[in-house]
């Protein structure tokens, strides 16, 4: 079987695409930026595009019937989404951390 | 997301919290051991430092014919074939019958364990399947699997218990979903990190719970299904449709043919049939059954490893008398059905072993995430009550004890296995190791309870200091767990005499990978303990300093002096 058509590779590619989308969604999340006093991204209107990027692998996996890759992708984005949301925004300094108390 | 009235919200919080507090610790035991047994097979191979076994297709036919001639004819009704971790083949020639005193129908027959290369029979036992001694190399894997499946509670009660725990997880997940009003808005919000630790802990719990919801639903539903299917579902089906005959119900559900022609016939080569099955499935045979050996109705059914792109393994059936291919055999019934597909899908979603290492890693990580949500939830519930009702203090200690004591006991059980393996008594030593681990963790917990409670009652400065700095249990547990995890690969090497050089030569990179993973996990736990203690000490120092400033101010130096002291503090102190 072609290496690039194996379940593992397809799942990893799908996860990579969705991770990019999730990272952008996390970075541009309005509430997250407001809470951490970061520059407002709300005017960019790209959040729907980012959300589509997260879901982009879904139609391909469904169309080609790659069920193992589909299930792995679904579960992996839960894990990666958690990890990305858990992290503090990059620009945040130690003194800014305590501003979280205001929320 | 869901807008509930304040009263309903309170009720829902009560359901969520009490469900977790009442059975959360047992649920944690089931989920954590479930996460570990995702790697059950790998763990089994690692525990014996890698098995050098040939595929099930090698050297089986001649041995099987020889052994078939050595058993009573009634034992030829059914033959089960599988490989042990050590590379031996086990062949169980058996019939189905109840014990003399009555009871359910069981497999009764002759179990051979033989070397497929030399044909040497290592062991031969005759008896009921439940009474035959298990393979010593599978002790560790079996111990952890049974802890997950039935918490080692005998009979159906263990299955009922784990089924109920699955339902409790489902209740907690649904109530958690209803409680979280801003699920989508806050799913990207990182936990607030400030002076209010309770708030930070709640944020962390909410975030992990939000992202872990899909997995929690899947795990709870499929887990409850597997627990109740055999313990409750089968008897109900048997009572309603088969006049209480469970064996008849099983035979119908599985699709066992009722009419058998006993006319003797020559048997086709098992190896040849296995190779044909492997060519069809593009995956090796891992288990096989042969029914009605030596008759014209003899059939061989193979079960394969999951091939790439497949969700679950298929079974192929061949006639042993003619060598004809008879088609695939669904897990349930005789023809493919929606029910069969659903049961297979539930297996896929629950076990997470369908796509090798990647799917195993994802399921393992999600299992750990569910453990985190469970323990952090219980701690949150206790934290709110601990100050008012001292009894919760003990429950908090119990929570810490179970949270860290279980992994410590699991590591200790592996050490017990290594100690018992040369003595061929792995089952007893694995259990003993587990209890030693429990006692070790209990020692740490008890020390904290005794000193902690004494300090709480006496309120002397010395004991407060001990309580605050030196006997903080979590870092102690973490250090203990870290050291044991780091030591485990060394214990394996010492017990088996198999180092990494030998493993490289025998191409057992998986065993080396497991050693490395355990060592890294050990170092991470010790580092976490260091970080936690450091933070604790820094916080205590800050607290002491502000306490001194306040005392100074009260002594008459005035507010101005207090402000001067604050200004002179370094930034970020």
- Which chain B residue shows the shortest CA-CA distance from A101? B194
Distance CA B30, CA B286 (A): 27
Query: Using the beta-carbon criterion (under 8 Å), do B358 and A97 form an inter-chain contact?
Result: no
Tens-place pLDDT, residues B184-204: 778 888 887 766 778 888 889
Q: How far is CA B213 from CA A82, A91, B132, B290, B367, in A?
A: 11, 30, 42, 43, 12
- Which chain A residue shows the shortest CA-CA distance from B310? A68
Distance CA B213, CA B184 (A): 12
Q: Which residues are bridge partners to B415 per DSSP?
A: none
On whether the CB atoms of residues B110 and B139 are closer than 8 A, the answer is no
Distance in Å, alpha carbon of A47 to nearest chain B alpha carbon:
13
Distance CA B102, CA B431 (A): 31
Distance in Å, alpha carbon of B282 to nearest chain A alpha carbon:
11
pLDDT in tens, chain B (573 residues): 667 788 888 888 888 989 888 899 999 999 999 999 999 989 998 998 887 766 777 778 888 999 999 899 889 999 999 988 888 899 999 998 888 777 778 889 999 999 888 888 988 999 998 888 788 888 999 999 999 999 999 888 999 999 999 999 999 999 998 888 777 778 888 887 766 778 888 889 999 999 999 999 999 999 999 999 878 887 888 788 777 777 777 777 777 766 777 888 888 999 999 999 999 888 889 999 999 998 998 999 999 988 888 888 888 999 998 999 998 888 887 788 888 889 899 999 999 988 889 999 999 999 999 999 999 999 999 888 877 777 887 788 889 899 999 999 999 999 999 999 888 888 999 999 999 999 999 888 777 767 665 555 555 554 555 455 545 678 889 999 999 999 999 999 999 888 899 988 888 899 999 999 999 999 999 999 888 888 777 777 776 777 777 777 766 654 444 444 444 444 333
Joined tokens for residue A83: 């990890």
Distance in Å, alpha carbon of A80 to nearest chain B alpha carbon:
9
Query: Using the beta-carbon criterion (under 8 Å), do B311 and A76 form an inter-chain contact?
Result: no
> So what's the pLDDT on residue A33?
79
Q: Which residues does B contribute to its contact with A (CB < 8 Å)? A: 185-196, 199, 204, 207-208, 210-215, 308-311, 348-349, 354-356, 358-359, 362-363, 365-366, 369, 571-572
Cβ contacts of B357 within 8 Å, gap of 6 or more? none
> So what's the pLDDT on residue A1?
60
Query: Using the beta-carbon criterion (under 8 Å), do B188 and A84 form an inter-chain contact?
Result: yes
On whether the CB atoms of residues B1 and B179 are closer than 8 A, the answer is no
Query: Using the beta-carbon criterion (under 8 Å), do B356 and A103 form an inter-chain contact?
Result: no
Residue B134 per-residue DSSP state: P
Nearest residue to B81 (alpha-carbon basis) of B251, B236, B274: B274
Distance CA B285, CA B54 (A): 11
Query: Using the beta-carbon criterion (under 8 Å), do A94 and B572 form an inter-chain contact?
Result: yes
Distance CA A39, CA B498 (A): 58
The sign of the torsion formed by the CA atoms of B320, B323, B324, B329 equals positive
Q: At B493, is the secondary structure helix, strand, or coil?
A: helix
Interface contacts (A, B; CB < 8 Å): 101
Cβ contacts of B563 within 8 Å, gap of 6 or more? none
Alpha-carbon B326 to chain mean position: 37
> So what's the pLDDT on residue B534?
81
Within 8 A of B311 by CB-CB distance, chain A residues are 67-68, 71
Within 8 A of B190 by CB-CB distance, chain A residues are 32, 85-89
What φ, ψ does residue B83 adopt, rounded to 5°? -105, 145
Distance in Å, alpha carbon of A75 to nearest chain B alpha carbon:
7
Alpha-carbon B114 to chain mean position: 30
Cβ contacts of A72 within 8 Å, gap of 6 or more? A7, A11, A15, B355, B358, B359, B362
- A26, A66, A101 member nearest B195 (Cβ): A101
What's the burial of B335, exposed, middle or buried (CB within 10 Å: 0-12/13-18/19+)? exposed
| pLDDT higher than 60, residue A103 | no
| pLDDT higher than 50, residue A101 | no
């Amino acid at each position: 079987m072609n290496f690039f058509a194996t379940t593992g590779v397809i799942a990893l590619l799908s996860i990579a695409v969705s991770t990019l989308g999730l990272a952008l969604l996390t970075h541009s999340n309005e509430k997250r930026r407001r809470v951490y006093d970061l520059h407002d991204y709300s005017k960019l209107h790209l959040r729907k595009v980012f959300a589509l990027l997260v879901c982009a692998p879904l139609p391909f996996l469904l169309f080609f019937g790659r069920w193992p890759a589909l299930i792995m992708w679904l579960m992996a984005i839960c894990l990666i989404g958690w990890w990305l949301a858990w992290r503090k925004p990059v620009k945040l300094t130690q003194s800014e951390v305590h501003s979280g108390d205001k929320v | 997301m869901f807008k509930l009235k304040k009263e309903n919200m309170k009720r829902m919080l009560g359901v969520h919290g009490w469900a977790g507090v009442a059975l959360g610790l047992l649920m944690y035991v089931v989920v954590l051991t479930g996460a570990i047994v995702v790697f059950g097979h790998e763990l089994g191979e690692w525990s014996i430092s890698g098995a050098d076994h040939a595929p099930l297709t090698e050297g089986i036919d001649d041995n099987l014919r020889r052994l078939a001639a050595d058993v009573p004819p009634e034992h030829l009704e059914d033959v089960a074939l599988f490989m042990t971790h050590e590379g031996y083949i086990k062949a169980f020639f058996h019939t189905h019958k109840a014990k003399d005193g009555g009871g359910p129908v069981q497999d009764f027959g002759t179990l051979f364990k033989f070397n497929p290369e030399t044909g040497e029979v290592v062991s031969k036992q005759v008896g009921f399947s439940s009474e035959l001694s298990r393979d010593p190399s599978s002790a560790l894997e079996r111990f952890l699997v049974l802890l997950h499946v039935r918490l080692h509670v005998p009979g159906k009660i263990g299955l009922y218990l784990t089924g109920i725990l699955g339902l409790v997880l489902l209740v907690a997940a649904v109530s958690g979903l209803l409680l979280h009003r801003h699920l989508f808005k806050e799913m990207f919000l990182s936990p607030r990190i400030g002076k209010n630790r309770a708030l930070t802990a709640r944020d962390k719990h909410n975030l992990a719970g939000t992202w872990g919801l899909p997995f929690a639903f899947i795990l709870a539903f499929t887990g409850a299904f597997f627990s109740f299917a055999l313990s409750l579902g089968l008897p109900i089906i048997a009572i309603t449709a088969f006049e209480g005959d469970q064996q008849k119900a099983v035979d119908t559900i599985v699709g066992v043919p009722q009419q058998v022609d006993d006319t003797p016939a020559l048997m086709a080569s098992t190896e040849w049939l296995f190779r044909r099955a492997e060519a069809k499935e593009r995956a090796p045979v891992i288990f096989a059954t042969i029914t009605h050996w030596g008759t014209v109705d003899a059939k061989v059914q193979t079960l394969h490893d999951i091939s790439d792109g497949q969700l679950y393994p298929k079974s192929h059936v061949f006639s042993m008398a003619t060598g004809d291919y008879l088609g695939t055999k669904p897990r349930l019934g005789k023809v493919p059905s929606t029910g069969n597909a659903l049961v297979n899908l539930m297996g896929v979603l629950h076990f997470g072993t369908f796509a090798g290492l990647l799917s195993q890693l994802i399921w393992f990580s999600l299992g750990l995430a569910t453990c985190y949500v469970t323990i952090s939830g219980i701690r949150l519930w206790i934290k709110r009550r601990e100050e008012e009702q001292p009894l919760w203090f003990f429950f908090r200690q119990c929570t810490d004890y179970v949270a860290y004591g279980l992994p410590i006991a699991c590591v200790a059980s592996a050490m017990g296995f290594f100690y018992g393996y040369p003595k061929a008594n792995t089952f007893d030593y694995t259990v003993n190791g587990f209890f030693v681990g429990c006692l070790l963790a209990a020692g740490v917990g008890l020390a904290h309870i005794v000193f902690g409670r004494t300090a709480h009652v006496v309120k002397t400065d010395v004991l407060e200091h001990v309580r605050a700095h030196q006997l903080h249990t979590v870092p102690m547990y973490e250090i203990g767990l870290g050291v044991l995890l780091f030591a485990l690969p060394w214990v394996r090497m010492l017990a088996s005499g198999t180092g990494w050089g030998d493993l490289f030569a025998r191409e057992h990179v998986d065993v080396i990978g497991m050693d490395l993973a355990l060592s890294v996990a050990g170092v991470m736990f010790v580092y976490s303990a260091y970080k936690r203690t450091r933070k604790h000490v820094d916080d205590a120092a800050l607290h002491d300093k502000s306490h001194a400033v306040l005392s100074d101010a009260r002594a008459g130096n005035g507010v101005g002096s207090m402000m001067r002291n604050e200004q002179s503090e370094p930034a970020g102190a």
